[in-house]
């Protein structure tokens, strides 16, 4: 039981290492609305190795110094891996809308976490090794508290007129997150 509680803490505590929201200003290829085709996140901490994949259908609108994430109808992200030698399975689901100030500095997308607002929620459900089903949590509040959100910030950008990729690596004393969010122009 102790290791399983640590796993939930790992997923929820990595946020200081993790996410915020992006937006565009300088790179013309980033401006507009993008539809997520796949998010692929890897979390490593001590004896925990997790992979979180999915999210297809969410949209990201960049421009005017803002980023707007809309999650209506977006697919779940599946979570698989191990923690303390035990198999881990679960999922994450986003709903609602998240807004944030954001800018592009060089080839990086940087969000202003303190400006996060909206009704977006994150629902985490673990099906193994424990059955955990906490209530959905407000995404803007999670960002401001420095908790895990699954929303990119301080991400390296690669883009063209039809595709956008955000790449992020964060390392803290809690662990390492490597993530890629792949979008197509909507």
User: In this structure, what token pair is assigned to residue 112?
Assistant: 């202003």
**For position 24, what pLDDT does the model report?**
35
Query: What distance lies between CA 76 and its chain's CA centroid?
Result: 12
Overall average pLDDT of the 2-6 stretch: 39
Query: What is the rounded (10 degree) CA torsion for 71, 73, 74, 75?
Result: 150
**For position 67, what pLDDT does the model report?**
94
Q: With 90 as the cut, is the pLDDT of residue 75 above it?
A: yes
Phi-psi region of 15 (alpha: psi -120 to 50; beta: other; left: phi over 0): alpha
What's the whole-number average pLDDT of the chain? 86
Q: What are the phi and psi torsion angles at 154 (to 5°)?
A: 50, 45
pLDDT band at 27 (very low <50, low <70, confident <90, very high): low
Q: CA of 27: how far to CAs of 18, 49, 105, 160, in Å?
A: 23, 35, 9, 10
Q: What percent of the chain has pLDDT over 90?
A: 70
Q: With 50 as the cut, is the pLDDT of residue 59 above it?
A: yes
**For position 146, what pLDDT does the model report?**
83
**For position 72, what pLDDT does the model report?**
95
Q: With 50 as the cut, is the pLDDT of residue 135 above it?
A: yes
- Does the predicted TM-score (pTM) go above 0.85? no
Task: Check if the beta carbon of residue 126 is closer than 8 Å to that of residue 48.
Answer: no
Cα–Cα distance between 164 and 38 in angstroms, integer?
A: 11
């Amino acid at each position: 039981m102790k290791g399983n509680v640590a796993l939930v803490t790992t997923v929820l505590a990595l946020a200081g290492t993790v996410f915020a929201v992006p937006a565009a200003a300088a790179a013309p290829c980033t401006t507009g609305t993008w539809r997520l085709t796949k998010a692929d996140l890897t979390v490593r901490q001590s004896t925990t190795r997790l992979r979180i994949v999915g999210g297809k259908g969410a949209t990201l609108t960049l421009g005017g110094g803002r980023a707007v994430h809309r999650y209506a109808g977006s697919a779940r992200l599946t979570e698989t891996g191990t923690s303390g030698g035990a198999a881990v399975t679960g999922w994450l689901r986003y709903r609602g809308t998240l807004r944030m100030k954001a800018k592009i500095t060089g080839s990086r997308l940087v969000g202003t976490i303190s400006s996060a607002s909206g009704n977006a929620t994150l629902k985490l459900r673990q099906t193994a090794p424990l059955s955990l089903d906490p209530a959905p949590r407000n995404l803007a509040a999670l960002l401001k508290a420095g908790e895990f959100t699954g929303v990119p910030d301080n991400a390296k950008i690669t883009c063209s007129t039809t595709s956008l990729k955000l790449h992020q690596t964060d390392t803290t004393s809690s662990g390492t997150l490597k993530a890629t969010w792949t979008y197509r122009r909507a």
